[in-house]
Amino acid sequence: MPVGTVLVTGGTGYIGSFTTLALLDAGYDVVIVDSLYNSSKVALDRIELLAGRRPDFYQIDITDEKALDEVFAKHPAIDSVIHFAALKAKSSVIPLEYYRVNVGGSIALLQSMTRNNVTNIVFSSSATVYGDATRFPNMIPIPEHCPIGPTNTYGRTKSMIEDVITDYINAQRNNLEKEGKPFQQWNGALLRYFNPCGAHPSGIMGEDPQGIPFNLLPLLGQVATGQREKLLVYGDDYPSRDGTAIRDYIHVVDLARGHLVALNYLRANQPGVKAWNLGSGRGSTVFEIVKAFSTVVGRDLKYEVVARRAGDVLDLTANPTLANTELNWKTELTMEKACEDLWRWVSNNPQGYRQEPPAELLAAVKKA
C-alpha cells in the first residue's frame, strides 16, 4: 500500500522531478501532469531509473480544467496536490500569458480539486514575493512575516496565487463552521524558496531549461562547458562584502525533501494554510559562487561585470527558523556540494536531456 497518492503538476520540471523522486522514495504513488512547455519526458525515465518505479504521466495544460477533472477521475486515490506548473522566464515580456497560466491555472486547479474532494495543496511559491526586503529594518535574513512586495511580474503571480489559496482555504473553513457541517478541512503549504541549484549526485538528473538559462549556476555551467563565452555579473556596486548581490542557494535535493515534509505535515496536522521559507539561512555573493564553482571545475571561469538589472535586490537570504522548528526540516547539503553535483550533471549532459549521458553513469545507477 502506498503512503498516499499525490498529483504533481509540473512534475517533469526541475524541482518537480526531484520532488517526484523524493515522494516515490518515501512510498507515495505519484501522478504527474505537465504541458512539457519547458521540460522533457526524459525526466520520467531518469526518475524511474533512480526510484525503481515510474510515475503516471499526462501531458495536459494546467489551465485545462476538463483534462484535470479526467485525471482526478482516473486516479480516485489522489488525496493531495503539489503544484509547480507555471511559466518562469520572460515574465516582463509576456506578462499577460503569465497571469493567464500561473494565476488562471491555479484557479482552475483549485476548482478541479474542489469538484474531486482533494483538499491538500502544497504550492511552489518563491522568495521573490518579498521583493526588496532590505527596505525594512531587521528583515534580513527574511522571516515569513516580512511584508510582501514583489518587484516583477513573476513574483506578482506567485503572490497572487498565495492570496487565492489563502482566501479560499480560510473561506472553506469559515463557511463550513457557519453551516455547522462536518469539516472537510482544506490545508495549504505556501513554500517560498530561495535559489534552487545543484543536481542529482548520480549525474543523470538535473535542470534542463529550454533556451537560455535564467539563473546564475546554470549560466556558469555553460561557461564551464564552453557553450557560453563568459558570465555577466549584474552589478558589483552593491553594499555587500564584495559588491555583488547576495542569494541563499539551496540544493534541489534538500528542496525536494522540503516539499515531502510539508506534505506530511499537512496530512498529519491539518493546519489550514501556512507559509514556510525553504532556504539555508546562509547567503552567498555572486563572486563567492563563481569561486566555488571554479574550484570544482579546476580553473578560473570568465566573467564580466555589467550594470545592475532593474528589479534586482541586494540580499535575499532566508530565515528558515519556522521550517526548521515546525517541519523539522533544514538543509543538509552545502552550496559547495551543489556546485559539485551541478558540474557532474552539466559536464556529462551538456545538452541536458536531449542527449544520453555516458553509459557508465547509467550503468552505475542500474547497479546501485
Interface residues toward its own copies, by CB under 8 A: 92-96, 99-100, 103-104, 107, 110-111, 114, 153, 156, 160, 163-164, 167-168, 171, 174-175
CB of 163 to its own copies, least distance (A): 5
Q: Look at the block and give the residue holding cell 520540471.
A: 13
CA distance 298 to 317: 28
Let me know if 154 is a catalytic residue: yes
CB of 255 to its own copies, least distance (A): 27
Closer by beta carbon to its own copies, 5 or else 153 = 153
Check 28, 154, 193, 238 and give the catalytic one. Answer: 154
Query: What does the block give as the cell for 325?
Result: 522548528
Closer by beta carbon to its own copies, 184 or else 269 = 184
CB of 98 to its own copies, least distance (A): 8
DSSP conformational letter for 100: I
- List, in sequence order, every beta strand (DSSP E) within the chain: 5-9, 29-33, 56-58, 78-83, 120-126, 187-193, 195-197, 231-234, 246-247, 249-251, 273-278, 284-285, 303-306, 315-316
Closer by beta carbon to its own copies, 5 or else 187 = 187
CB of 95 to its own copies, least distance (A): 4
Closer by beta carbon to its own copies, 174 or else 328 = 174
- Strand arrangement of the beta sheet that strand 284-285 belongs to: 284-285, 246-247, 315-316
Contact status, residue 146 vs residue 133, Cβ threshold 8 Å: yes
CB of 316 to its own copies, least distance (A): 21
Contact status, residue 246 vs residue 316, Cβ threshold 8 Å: yes
Phi-psi bin for 355: left (phi > 0), alpha (psi -120 to 50), beta? beta
Closer by beta carbon to its own copies, 163 or else 237 = 163
Report whether the peptide linkage leading into residue 357 is cis, meaning its omega lies within 30 degrees of zero: no
Length of the chain: 368
Residues marked active site are found at: 154
